[in-house]
């Protein structure tokens, strides 16, 4: 018989009426409610498939050629729509990598020390080798006290998901997911293909909608489906076109929805176009370098979501250069940053790699005058 202390029995589950039990039930009910918009969109999609394929194409259209063309084109749009929607919903948002999380000792120090210079020193030490260039409104390093990490550039904490999301754009209830670095391309394609889907249905359904409205066709069960199908497709087309156009503008400027409402704050100033590298490179950041993948809902975005090239560390293309290769103007020196490593997939977006190395050398030379401002810990959402 073995001697020793017996292991303590596991704690009993909370009673049915305990506060913890009710809290768990409430959270499960909330998670179920979050799926209601997705189920609504899915039910509309299933009904539209039945109304278009069965009622319009198979039962109403009389021309065989028109039937074949409409069915083939419809199923292409339908497949791309469902594929991109599925990927947007079930692609998990990416969270900051381990290097941005505070170590156990740093977390202990941060909790033990009062708010002040000691906490600022902990954050300085944790962020000194990280590729971060943005700050809070007060000039502090962006820190999340819920996830216990230094926030990468363009990362924000989602109150619904209760976690930090890389390059967060917004939390979309229609997909029950955060739209960020990992699925922003899928979200754009979802908007594009859903708009094409609705426009195609409205265009091919219009003549039959007019015929039923003017009593040009017999009053059958298909009349309700075809008329309501046109109204639904036209209504969704209007709303989707404005939303898709807005996100196309965001891509062209390399902005997120959150950055439109709160411009990113860099070390020296706020710059609403700080991450914009020009239309072509902004497009490649989302869709990647290989154009054959642009229209497919497969991940092809550049980078890792933790670091991004910025025009503030790139040589100003409008500035004249001296024969020695150095800028004759000192404008670019107002935006020097400490030497932080950009990922290889991000660095290739910079037009001139030599200018990046020159800027880094200048930053090292002027490091004495580039010390961090007084940092205070500030929570952001």
- Catalytically active residues, by annotation: 172
Exposure pattern of 260-271 as b/e (b: 16+ CB <10 Å)?
eeeebbbbeeeb
Alpha helices in the chain (DSSP H): 19-34, 36-49, 64-90, 104-112, 117-127, 184-213, 221-253, 257-261, 279-287, 344-347, 353-365
> What length does the chain have?
381
- Under DSSP, the state recorded for 35 is T
* Closest to 101 measured CA to CA, from 56, 158, 164: 164
For helices 279-287 and 221-253, the axis angle rounded to 10 degrees is: 120
Give the 3-state secondary structure of residue 190. Answer: helix
Q: Cα separation of 59 and 63, whole Å?
A: 11
The set of residues, in sequence order, having a beta carbon less than 8 Å from that of 214 and lying 6+ positions away, is none
167 φψ region: left (φ > 0), alpha (ψ -120 to 50), beta (else): left
- SS3 helix, strand, coil % of the chain, rounded to 5? 50, 5, 40
Could you tell me which of 118, 133, 102, 130 has the C-alpha nearest to residue 370? Answer: 133
Exposure string for 333-350, b = 16+ CB within 10 A, e = fewer:
eebbbbbbebbebbeebb
Burial of residue 137, with CB atoms counted within 10 A of its CB: 0-12 exposed, 13-18 middle, 19 or more buried? exposed
Question: If you compute the radius of gyration of the chain from its CA atoms, what whole number of angstroms results?
Answer: 27
């Amino acid at each position: 018989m073995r001697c020793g202390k017996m292991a303590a029995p596991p704690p009993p589950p909370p009673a049915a009426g305990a506060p913890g039990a009710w809290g768990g039930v409430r959270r499960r009910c909330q998670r179920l409610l979050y799926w209601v918009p997705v189920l609504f969109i899915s039910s509309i999609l299933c009904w539209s498939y039945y109304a278009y394929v069965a009622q319009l194409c198979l039962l109403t259209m009389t021309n065989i050629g028109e039937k074949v063309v409409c069915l083939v084109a419809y199923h292409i749009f339908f497949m791309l729509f469902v594929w991109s929607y599925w990927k947007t919903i079930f692609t998990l948002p990416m969270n900051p990598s381990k290097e941005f999380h505070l170590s156990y000792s740093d977390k202990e120090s941060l909790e033990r020390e009062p708010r002040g210079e000691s906490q600022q020193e902990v954050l300085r030490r944790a962020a000194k080798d990280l590729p971060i260039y943005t700050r809070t409104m007060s000039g502090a390093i962006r820190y999340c006290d819920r996830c216990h990490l230094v926030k990468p550039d363009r990362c924000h904490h989602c109150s619904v998901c209760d976690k930090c999301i890389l390059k967060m754009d917004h939390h979309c209830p229609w997909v029950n997911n955060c739209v960020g670095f990992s699925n922003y391309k899928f979200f754009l394609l979802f908007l594009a293909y859903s708009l094409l889907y609705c426009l195609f249905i409205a265009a091919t359904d219009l003549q039959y909608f007019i015929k039923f409205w003017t009593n040009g066709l017999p009053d059958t069960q298909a009349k309700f489906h075809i008329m309501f199908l046109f109204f639904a497709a036209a209504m969704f087309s209007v709303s989707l076109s404005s939303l898709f156009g807005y996100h196309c503008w965001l891509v062209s400027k390399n902005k997120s929805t959150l950055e439109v409402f709160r411009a990113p704050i860099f070390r020296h100033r706020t710059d609403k176009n700080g991450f914009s590298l020009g239309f072509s490179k902004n497009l490649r950041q989302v869709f990647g370098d290989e154009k054959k993948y642009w229209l497919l809902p497969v991940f092809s975005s550049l980078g890792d979501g933790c670091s991004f090239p910025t025009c503030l560390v790139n040589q100003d293309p409008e500035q004249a250069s001296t024969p020695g290769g150095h800028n004759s103007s000192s404008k670019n020196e107002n935006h020097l940053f400490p030497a932080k490593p950009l990922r290889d997939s991000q660095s290739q977006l910079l037009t001139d790699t030599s200018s990046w190395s020159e800027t880094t050398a200048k930053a090292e030379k002027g490091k004495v005058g580039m010390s961090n401002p007084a940092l205070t810990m500030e929570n952001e959402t």
